[in-house]
């Protein structure tokens, strides 16, 4: 393991404490046959034990899409060449942002735990996501993300 990136730090302000000095991003990848890929977060992590998206702190100057793809590859072996970005959704508190990058799997792939940040990785049907114990930020964002997925003419949702 190499030296920590300078982006790997907490930022604090009047709306709370958030991970990622330069913001954070996560990848919501959808496979029409399997659902969406969720990460069961390691117990030692912030909001550990909840389900969320592979993702993490952005590097200085890194675009959110690149950061989400990089983090998903590092944490879940998501092949970046095998996904097509559909849209992004940004949560912005003024001094910190989290960008959800929503993508479609172009070909099926098996996600694999490739770092210690995951207890488990699981493909979850669209209708079953809300039944998981979700990371609070993802839980708040999921209804809007699900609606946007359902409205996107390029993809077909299956329960």
Is 73 contained in some domain?
yes
User: Does residue 5 fall inside a structural domain?
Assistant: no
Is the residue at 156 inside a domain? no
Higher pLDDT, 43 or 157: 43
pLDDT of 14:
95
CATH number for the domain harbouring residue 135 = 3.90.79.10
> What does the angle CA 144 – CA 150 – CA 154 come to, to the nearest 5 degrees?
125
Residue 147 belongs to a domain = yes
pLDDT digits (tens, 9 = 90+) for 39-94: 999 888 888 899 999 999 999 999 999 999 999 999 999 999 999 999 999 999 99
Please state, in angstroms and rounded to a whole number, the distance separating the CA atoms of residues 137 and 89. 13
Q: 3-state DSSP: the chain helix, strand, coil percent, rounded to 5?
A: 25, 35, 40
What domain count does the chain have?
A: 1
**Is 158 within a domain?**
no
Domain assignment of residue 4, yes or no? no
Q: What is the pTM of this model?
A: 0.91
User: Does residue 1 belong to any structural domain of this protein?
Assistant: no
Q: Domain of residue 69: give its range.
A: 10-108+116-151
């Amino acid at each position: 393991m190499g030296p920590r990136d300078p982006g790997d730090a907490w930022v604090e302000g009047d709306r709370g404490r958030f991970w990622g000095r330069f913001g954070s991003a996560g990848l919501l990848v959808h496979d029409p046959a399997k659902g969406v890929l969720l990460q069961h977060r390691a117990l030692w992590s912030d909001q550990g034990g909840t389900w969320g998206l592979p993702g993490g702190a952005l590097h200085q100057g890194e675009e959110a899409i690149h950061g989400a793809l990089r983090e998903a590859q590092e944490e879940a072996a998501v092949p970046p060449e095998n996904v097509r970005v559909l849209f992004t959704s940004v949560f912005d508190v003024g001094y910190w942002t989290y960008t959800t990058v929503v993508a479609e799997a172009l070909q099926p792939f098996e996600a694999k735990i490739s770092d210690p940040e995951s207890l488990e990785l699981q493909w979850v049907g669209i209708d079953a996501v809300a039944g998981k114990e979700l990371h609070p930020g993802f839980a708040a964002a999921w209804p809007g993300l699900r609606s946007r997925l359902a409205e996107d003419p390029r993809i077909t949702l299956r329960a």
